Structure 1
Amino acid sequence: MSNALKTSTIVGIVGAGAMGAGIAQVAALAGHRVALFDLDAATVAKAIKGIAANLARLVDKGRLDATAAAQANERLIAVDQLTGMRDAGLVIEAVAERLEVKRKIFAELEEHVADACILATNTSSISVTAIGATLEIPARLVGMHFFNPAPVMALVEVVSGLATSADVATCVYETAAAWGKTPVYARSTPGFIVNRVARPFYAEGLRLLNEQAASAESIDEVIREAGGFRMGPFELMDLIGHDVNFAVTESVFRAYFNDPRFTPSLIQQELVNAGFLGRKSGRGFYEYGPNATRASPRLAPPTDSPRVVKLFPQSGVIARLQQRLLDAGLVTATMPETERIDGVVAQIDDALLRLTDGRTATQCAHDSDHDNVVLVDLALDYAGCSTVALARARQCSDSAYAAVVGAMQAAGYAVVPMADVAGMIVMRTVAMLVNEAADAVNQGVCTAADLDLAMEKGVNYPLGPLQWADQAGVTLFSTVLSNLCTHYGEDRYRVSPLLAALSWSRASWHARAAIDSAA
């Protein structure tokens, strides 16, 4: 039997901005009467008009029945006082991210609504425990975090504070599901799931740019085309707005008592100081507007194919790269199993091609006593991707490097050359996402399954981080992080205890199942 609220239940929305209006549209389409309040009555009128326009567009596109749209519009009720929420069974607050403002709203709501009314906050960053601490009935307060735009984005984080009733969380979870959303449970910790686990996606891109690993355009290209993400970090930060993204990073950093994993970037701070906030200001990492032009990513020029390509025995993600070389007719020999070397993809003329493991190519060359080492970055799927990044050891000869570039191009890849920076681009970004995901599960924020679902539905990742760990191998990411930690000498790259435990066990079962059972 479902614990979702019946459609006869009135839903109240406090705050008629973009988020509040979006949530109101979702609830009205789901069959609820919706009482919409804002301190500015004109904002409520604008929201109701905007919802009607959104529904009309859906009808025009054939995505919504005209009758259903008309009925949803009729369910929207403008109220000019919080007393208008007295008959609501659920009230969702969607106002500014300020603790004192939210506490004041909920305190006033408690004077008007029934004791059985559920109170929900759409906060993305404030502790649900802190918001509910001053309530008469704190057990009825829960986080109901929608993602913008609420009518489009599937994810809803159902966040429980220390006092939140399990029955309340279950009701809100099942109500969100009944509204056509994908809910996940989370414990009230800084950033909840998505805003915590996603931080390395931005942070590692910014750090790579700061270390001059490649241009913003090139990093975005590699993240998209090799990593399989819909947008690169710089494109995405420009879309979100640097003021918003920087503020969330600062908030999470402070909330975790200045944990170096969440350290904000001076580059982004400078953009905020300059007012270069991204799309909304016309300039961020890129320029926007009718006359704006964007620099192209740096690609290696066409190079001749190599004479010799010897494959070393490998499995997993590397095998797909080797298959591309085979399919291109480049392979001249396949080495026996006795010649297996961890991480080595192939000998290409005089060069050794290796998968990055968190060391620099120069360090790999030193450790292997082979000058001509070239590293290839991680890809989501070497079989289908169009681009790879390469980094060469400082002592690698031009001819040896050119042979590797030529082989990659002959196999159908565009090559992005980058500086010899530890961990490269996709590898270090995904390793940090995996690490943060493992830590969140290890600390009881959510289950592994909900974490992967949240990252896929909330920020459109091509794979959940833990599913990616399953696919590429937990040991690979643990090794990369350990090498990054050694290289930088920073706690930022410390390995999550759960990720380390899974790596040490070398278990044959998938990381995801193991993490779930451990949690």
Structure 2
Amino acid sequence: MTARAGTAIESDRVVAVVGTGTMGQGIAQVALAAGHPVRLHDAVPGRAEQAATAIAGRLGRLVEKGRLDAAGRDAALARLHPAAGLAELADAALVVEAVLERLSVKQELFAALEDIVADDCLLATNTSSLSVTAVAGPLRRPGRCVGLHFFNPAPLMPLVEVVSGFATDEAAAARAYGTARAWGKTPVRCADTPGFVVNRVARPFYAEALRLYEERAADPATIDAVLRESGGFRMGPFELTDLIGQDVNEAVTRSVWESFFRDVRFTPSLAQRRLVESGRLGRKTGRGWYAYGDGGPAVHGSGSGGDGGAGNADGRPHTAEPCPAPASVGVHGELFAADTLPRLIEEAGVEVVRGDGAVPGHPGWIELPSGTRLFLADGTAADEADMPVVHFDLALDYRTAGRIALAPAASVDDKGRAEAVGLFQALGKDVSVIADVPGMIVARTVAMLADFALDAAARGVATAEDIDTAMRLGVNYPRGPLEWAAELGHRWVRDTLYRLHDEYPTGRYAPSQALCRLAAAQEDDAT
């Protein structure tokens, strides 16, 4: 994947889209906007005509909103033609299939097209979970088959994954990349591995939230709120899977898991399986993790959440009641990823007394008047300490974070608990008190995302730059996971995962070789 962009397909060449569901219509609209004549085909009679009408309606709404002029709409619609049969696609320079996500269906379609289109026609699959190599396997010329994975809604989402199968010609992948870029998209090149980039690297975002729910750490609304307001994610995993569809998300998770020969790191969630079996698939059925009605989403999950119980009935996260802030705190040693906290505490009017006692290079702590110590989540449980400890979660930016999660050990008394809550409330944060689980919510999730991304880069799935770009644009992460890992420090990520691995010795949290090598290099630089 050294060469990146080839010459884009000329805008006067025909682009054909086979399969006219939501994704097919969206891809056709993107190609129309780039100036191509577009042919729509669907195996179900009448569907292509219905899709053309739907696209015309969307273009009309763009005109109403002032995003497209009437002349542009009319010109685009003049280039849009339903095709009754595959033979009408003979002059296409690119055929993008968006048919049923079933390998045999895609293979049969491309085998039929191979006898119809010209030798220089690119055959592109929009599959999100199947192997591009397998799709192209039966073809006489598999080199022209490439993955063009758009994200929904295709007209709005900027990312396109350009996937090279085992037999894909470099020239074909480069031409597909150049075409996606000419269409105003941000393409990334990747190898044909399960989940490609986004659906591979993103698995921990969903999996860790589901595991925390199963461990009764917190309710769905609280986990979502902490990841949004502390982690900086656009949506929490429970609300996002409700939007995607629980059946769709669970199917992708299961597909990736099976494709990786049931690697424990990709294990699906029993809680999500039960939700799918119950028919509560999210927004499209009116109920998922949340119930949807005229009053907006309300929490549906029934898990217990530490101090938060089952969450509020209207879907609000658990938020601690106001507590007085301590007059002063002690700060001992380095707080590393939370090193801005002492300054924020002083700005809030709480005296900060610098102390000693910390070991250089090891995590420091904030000491409360009651003797309770605040430590950044590190992959251990607070109960393992031989003193009263409250863990606080990682934040993308402690200054701007709107919420902080706290996990107190059982040995923390009411006074220490109130001091910890009051301190963060004094910084202007909502506080969610969760059960004492190793790694908490944000720290655990980010450490796993970083490791998955580093492992993918080391295995040549995509470049580090493309992985970060894909995760920012494809799933709206606030920061690329590789960039995040470098900022936190590879040692911190590795050590957090090692401790999680000690807590859960299944192999799920064992850090990758890529992460361990980077952490060791960081240690060498420090000495």
Output the TM-score relative to the length of structure 2. 0.93
Q: For 1:432-511, what aligned pairs fall within 5 Å after superposition?
A: 432-506=448-522
Q: Indicate how the Cα distance of structure 1 residues 397 and 170 shifts in structure 2: closer, same or farther if over 3 A, else same.
A: same
Say yes or no: does 1:391 pair with 2:401. Answer: no
* Conserved 8 A contact 1:160-1:169: yes
Structure 1 residue 150: deviation in Å?
Answer: 0.5
Residues in 1 aligned to 2:104 and 2:146: alpha-carbon distance in whole angstroms: 17
Structure 1 residue 305: deviation in Å?
Answer: 1.3
Residue from 337, 341, 346 that aligns with 1:317: 337
Q: For 1:312-391, what aligned pairs fall within 5 Å after superposition?
A: 312-314=332-334, 316-335=336-355, 342-349=362-369, 350-363=371-384, 365-366=385-386, 371-391=387-407
Structure 1 residue 51: deviation in Å?
Answer: 1.1
Task: Please give the secondary structure, in 1, of the residue aligned with 2:406.
Answer: strand
Residue from 162, 169, 173 that aligns with 1:158: 162
* Conserved 8 A contact 2:382-2:389: yes
Residues in 2 aligned to 1:433 and 1:306: alpha-carbon distance in whole angstroms: 35
Structure 1 residue 344: deviation in Å?
Answer: 2.5
Residue from 24, 33, 36 that aligns with 2:37: 33
**1:351 aligned partner, one-letter code:** T
Residues in 2 aligned to 1:236 and 1:189: alpha-carbon distance in whole angstroms: 24
Task: Please give the secondary structure, in 2, of the residue aligned with 1:301.
Answer: coil
Moved more, 307-316 or 7-16: 307-316
* Conserved 8 A contact 1:19-1:148: yes
Residues in 1 aligned to 2:523 and 2:27: alpha-carbon distance in whole angstroms: 44
Task: Please give the secondary structure, in 1, of the residue aligned with 2:154.
Answer: coil
Instruction: Give the aligned length.
Output: 505
**1:478 aligned partner, one-letter code:** R
* Conserved 8 A contact 1:34-1:75: yes
Task: Please give the secondary structure, in 2, of the residue aligned with 1:491.
Answer: coil
Q: For 1:159-308, what aligned pairs fall within 5 Å after superposition?
A: 159-290=163-294, 293=298, 294-308=314-328
Partner of 1:515: none
Residue from 137, 143, 148 that aligns with 1:139: 143
Q: Indicate how the Cα distance of structure 1 residues 194 and 332 shifts in structure 2: closer, same or farther if over 3 A, else same.
A: closer
* Conserved 8 A contact 2:6-2:174: no
Moved more, 335-344 or 411-420: 335-344
* Conserved 8 A contact 2:245-2:284: yes
Residues in 2 aligned to 1:64 and 1:196: alpha-carbon distance in whole angstroms: 36
Residues in 2 aligned to 1:261 and 1:359: alpha-carbon distance in whole angstroms: 19
Task: Please give the secondary structure, in 1, of the residue aligned with 2:508.
Answer: helix
Residues in 2 aligned to 1:125 and 1:338: alpha-carbon distance in whole angstroms: 49
* Conserved 8 A contact 1:318-1:345: no
Residues in 1 aligned to 2:25 and 2:352: alpha-carbon distance in whole angstroms: 62
Bigger fraction of residues in helix: 1
Partner of 1:66: 70
**2:346 aligned partner, one-letter code:** L
Moved more, 43-52 or 441-450: 43-52
Q: Indicate how the Cα distance of structure 1 residues 343 and 315 shifts in structure 2: closer, same or farther if over 3 A, else same.
A: closer
**2:353 aligned partner, one-letter code:** A
Task: Please give the secondary structure, in 2, of the residue aligned with 1:402.
Answer: helix
* Conserved 8 A contact 2:198-2:474: yes
Q: Indicate how the Cα distance of structure 1 residues 508 and 415 shifts in structure 2: closer, same or farther if over 3 A, else same.
A: farther
* Conserved 8 A contact 1:238-1:279: yes
**1:414 aligned partner, one-letter code:** D
* Conserved 8 A contact 1:322-1:345: no
Partner of 2:438: 422
Task: Please give the secondary structure, in 2, of the residue aligned with 1:257.
Answer: coil
Q: Indicate how the Cα distance of structure 1 residues 341 and 418 shifts in structure 2: closer, same or farther if over 3 A, else same.
A: farther
Moved more, 310-319 or 43-52: 310-319
Residues in 1 aligned to 2:68 and 2:6: alpha-carbon distance in whole angstroms: 26
Alignment gaps of 5+ in structure 1: 510-519
Residues in 1 aligned to 2:145 and 2:524: alpha-carbon distance in whole angstroms: 42
Residues in 2 aligned to 1:229 and 1:508: alpha-carbon distance in whole angstroms: 33
Q: Indicate how the Cα distance of structure 1 residues 41 and 488 shifts in structure 2: closer, same or farther if over 3 A, else same.
A: same
Residues in 1 aligned to 2:487 and 2:434: alpha-carbon distance in whole angstroms: 25
Residues in 1 aligned to 2:347 and 2:425: alpha-carbon distance in whole angstroms: 13
Q: Deviations over 1:113-164 (max 9, x none)?
A: 0111110000001101111111010000000000111001111000001100
Structure 1 residue 337: deviation in Å?
Answer: 9.2
Q: Indicate how the Cα distance of structure 1 residues 390 and 120 shifts in structure 2: closer, same or farther if over 3 A, else same.
A: same
Q: Deviations over 1:412-471 (max 9, x none)?
A: 111100000000000101111111111111111101100000011111111111111122
Partner of 1:97: 101
Moved more, 291-300 or 25-34: 291-300
Residues in 2 aligned to 1:507 and 1:396: alpha-carbon distance in whole angstroms: 34
Structure 1 residue 314: deviation in Å?
Answer: 2.5
**1:9 aligned partner, one-letter code:** R
Partner of 1:514: none
Residues in 2 aligned to 1:322 and 1:120: alpha-carbon distance in whole angstroms: 54
Residues in 1 aligned to 2:361 and 2:150: alpha-carbon distance in whole angstroms: 47
Task: Please give the secondary structure, in 2, of the residue aligned with 1:332.
Answer: strand
Structure 1 residue 213: deviation in Å?
Answer: 0.3
Residues in 1 aligned to 2:464 and 2:172: alpha-carbon distance in whole angstroms: 22
Q: Indicate how the Cα distance of structure 1 residues 64 and 455 shifts in structure 2: closer, same or farther if over 3 A, else same.
A: same
Say yes or no: does 1:149 pair with 2:165. Answer: no
Task: Please give the secondary structure, in 2, of the residue aligned with 1:186.
Answer: strand
Q: Deviations over 1:317-360 (max 9, x none)?
A: 21122221121021231235977573224112111111011001
Identity of aligned residues (%): 49
Structure 1 residue 2: deviation in Å?
Answer: 5.6
Residues in 2 aligned to 1:175 and 1:496: alpha-carbon distance in whole angstroms: 35
Structure 1 residue 42: deviation in Å?
Answer: 2.1
Q: For 1:2-41, what aligned pairs fall within 5 Å after superposition?
A: 3-41=7-45
Q: Deviations over 1:88-131 (max 9, x none)?
A: 11111110110000000000001100111110000001101111
Residues in 1 aligned to 2:517 and 2:256: alpha-carbon distance in whole angstroms: 26
Structure 1 residue 65: deviation in Å?
Answer: 2.6
Partner of 1:513: none
Q: Indicate how the Cα distance of structure 1 residues 339 and 443 shifts in structure 2: closer, same or farther if over 3 A, else same.
A: closer
Residues in 1 aligned to 2:47 and 2:108: alpha-carbon distance in whole angstroms: 20
Residues in 1 aligned to 2:361 and 2:97: alpha-carbon distance in whole angstroms: 57
Q: For 1:116-127, what aligned pairs fall within 5 Å after superposition?
A: 116-127=120-131
